[in-house]
Amino acid sequence: MKLFGESVRSIEIVSGPDGRPQAVRVLDQTRLPHEAVWIELGSPESVERAIATMQVRGAPLIGAAGAFGLALALDGDTSDPALAHWAARLAATRPTAVNLRWAVERVERAVRPLSADARAAAAWREAQAIADEDVAINAAIGRYGLDLLRARAADLGAGHAGRPLQIMTHCNAGWLATVDWGTALAPVYRAHDAGWAVHVWVSETRPRNQGALTAFELAEHGVPCTVVADNAAGVLMAEGRVDTVIVGCDRVAANGDVANKVGTYLKALAARAHGVPFWVALPSPTFDARLASGAAIPIERRSATEVIEVPGRAETGGLAVVMPFSAGVAADNPAFDVTPATLVSAWITECGVFTTPAALREGLIA
Ligand code: MRU
């Protein structure tokens, strides 16, 4: 997608003078949307830190980053113990998004049978394949999602005539959260690029305000959007100003239950109450067939600081933190919630659109 008018991917290999990979380049997402700063991660420790502190975030992107992190680890030590150590350490960095474990295990599986001197190069190749596949998966989700948007517009008929299609999203499931395209935003970009009038309601997504990332990348691509407080979703739906909700996901269980950024569940409840379709953009690596239901999905609990402190740009220009709450107040910070499959109208995958958990399982496991 476009950043300052140039096509970029959110993670790319940086090669040394000898042409061999020596680091990966990522945008520091803790500084967006105020500053676009590329950072180079040249060690597994730096990848681990970047994922833990959310300089790198979004389920598909942390998967790709974890895979490259393992390649960086093998550049230093290709032994079996080092492989096992770094695979476990990187996979544990953020527990909810299954893409991280999936990608690290995939690289581990690819290199384990190889001789010590073949492992590092093979790990880089596998990690790059994961990144490339993410782009292809999201492009396909965009195509299937565009068909759904067309069908929704046709259902609305005269109700949609003369105004843009109104899409609500939550968190950031755009290209910043993936290698390119995004998941939930891929259909939006496709629709916009096809000349359709679309408008996106972007929820702020407290506590970390990933809505700021969504508004930033939509604006970079020229897609009209409006930021709303998380609490405004219900009233907008009640007023008939939301035609559909599209969200991304961090893990989907075998029964179709969806773990996604905290606040997703409330949107799904409101959507059901108001007859608004609720769609989940789901790349197959985010589907965890090993878990029977969402009850088994580990929910990351992050620092209370994220709830009681709000970072942003100060009037003076620099980045600053404000504290709306009194010091020492108790706070809890579940970073994700689980939306039951019964509230999901459709799962949009690279293999097609599924409207029942049984069809989803058959479509993705087959
Ligand atoms: O905690 P984050 O910012 O890494 O959250 C993950 C997400 O970006 C969202 O939950 C998203 O909807 C799924 S990733 C495309």
Per residue in 102-119, pLDDT (tens digit) is: 999 999 999 999 999 999
Cα-to-centroid distance, 171 and ligand 1 (Å): 6
341: alpha, beta or left, given left = phi > 0 and alpha = psi -120 to 50?
alpha
pLDDT value, residue 366: 73
**Mean per-residue pLDDT, 68-73:** 98
**Mean per-residue pLDDT, 33-44:** 96
What does the alpha-carbon distance between residue 26 and residue 33 come to, in Å, rounded to a whole number? 14
**Least confident segment among 13-17, 199-203, 314-318:** 314-318
Whether the model clears a pTM of 0.85, i.e. scores above it, the answer is yes
pLDDT value, residue 38: 96
pLDDT value, residue 111: 98
pLDDT value, residue 160: 79
Share of the chain above pLDDT 70, in %: 100
250 catalytic, yes or no?
A: yes
Evaluate whether 59 touches 130 at the Cβ level (below 8 Å): no
Cα-to-centroid distance, 185 and ligand 1 (Å): 12
The predicted-structure confidence for 321-333, as pLDDT tens digits, reads as follows 999 999 889 999 9
In order, the DSSP letters of 20-88 are -EEEEEEE-TTTTTT---EEEE-SHHHHHHHHHTTSS-SHHHHHHHHHHHHHHHHHH--SHHHHHHHHH
Share of the chain above pLDDT 90, in %: 94
pLDDT band for 334, please (50, 70, 90 cuts).
Answer: very high
If 0-12 CB within 10 Å is exposed, 13-18 middle and 19+ buried, where does residue 274 land? middle
Which residues, 6+ apart, have CB-to-CB distance to 194 below 8 Å?
146
The token duo for 338 is 């689980």
pLDDT value, residue 328: 87
What does the alpha-carbon distance between residue 219 and residue 184 come to, in Å, rounded to a whole number? 16
The token duo for 283 is 């790349």
Evaluate whether 114 touches 74 at the Cβ level (below 8 Å): no
Cα-to-centroid distance, 250 and ligand 1 (Å): 6
The predicted-structure confidence for 345-365, as pLDDT tens digits, reads as follows 999 999 999 999 999 999 998
pLDDT value, residue 285: 98
Ligand 1 atom 8: the closest Cα is on which residue? Answer: 58
The predicted-structure confidence for 238-293, as pLDDT tens digits, reads as follows 999 999 999 999 999 999 999 999 999 999 999 999 999 999 999 999 999 999 99
Evaluate whether 243 touches 160 at the Cβ level (below 8 Å): yes
Q: Could you give the strand order of the β-sheet that contains 336-339, starting from the edge strand earlier in sequence?
A: 287-288, 251-253, 258-261, 336-339
pLDDT value, residue 354: 98
Is the minimum distance from the CB of 58 to ligand 1 under 6 angstroms? yes
pLDDT at 1 over 80: no
pLDDT value, residue 7: 85
Ligand 1 atom 6: the closest Cα is on which residue? Answer: 58
DSSP annotation of 296: G
**Least confident segment among 2-6, 234-238, 323-327:** 2-6
Cα-to-centroid distance, 263 and ligand 1 (Å): 12
The predicted-structure confidence for 213-227, as pLDDT tens digits, reads as follows 999 999 999 999 999
Better-scored residue on pLDDT, 161 or 37 = 37
- Average pLDDT taken over every residue of the chain: 96
- Please state, in angstroms and as integers, the Cα–Cα distance from residue 354 to each residue in 148, 151, 154, 222, 230, following that order: 11, 14, 19, 30, 27
What does the alpha-carbon distance between residue 287 and residue 350 come to, in Å, rounded to a whole number? 12
Domain residue spans in the chain?
A: 2-132, 136-365
Ligand 1 binding pocket mutation candidate from 1, 32, 57, 189 (most atoms within 8 A of CB): 57
Do strands 198-203 and 165-169 pair parallel, antiparallel, or not at all (unpaired)? parallel
Q: Which CATH class is domain 2-132?
A: mainly alpha
Distance, C-alpha 325 to centroid of its chain: 29
What does the alpha-carbon distance between residue 75 and residue 176 come to, in Å, rounded to a whole number? 27
What does the alpha-carbon distance between residue 80 and residue 84 come to, in Å, rounded to a whole number? 6
What does the alpha-carbon distance between residue 102 and residue 97 come to, in Å, rounded to a whole number? 9
DSSP annotation of 263: T
pLDDT at 161 over 90: no
- Residue spans of alpha helices (H) in 239-338: 264-273, 305-308
Q: Could you give the strand order of the β-sheet that contains 198-203, starting from the edge strand earlier in sequence?
A: 225-228, 198-203, 165-169, 244-247, 278-281, 346-349, 352-354
Q: Which of 75, 180, 250, 337 is catalytic?
A: 250
pLDDT value, residue 2: 73
Looking up tokens 């292809």, which residue turns up? 136
CATH number given to 136-365: 3.40.50.10470
Q: What angle do CA 277, 95, 135 make, to 5 degrees?
A: 60
Helices (H) then strands (E): counts for the chain: 11, 18
Handedness of CA 186, 188, 191, 193 (dihedral sign): negative
pLDDT at 162 over 90: no
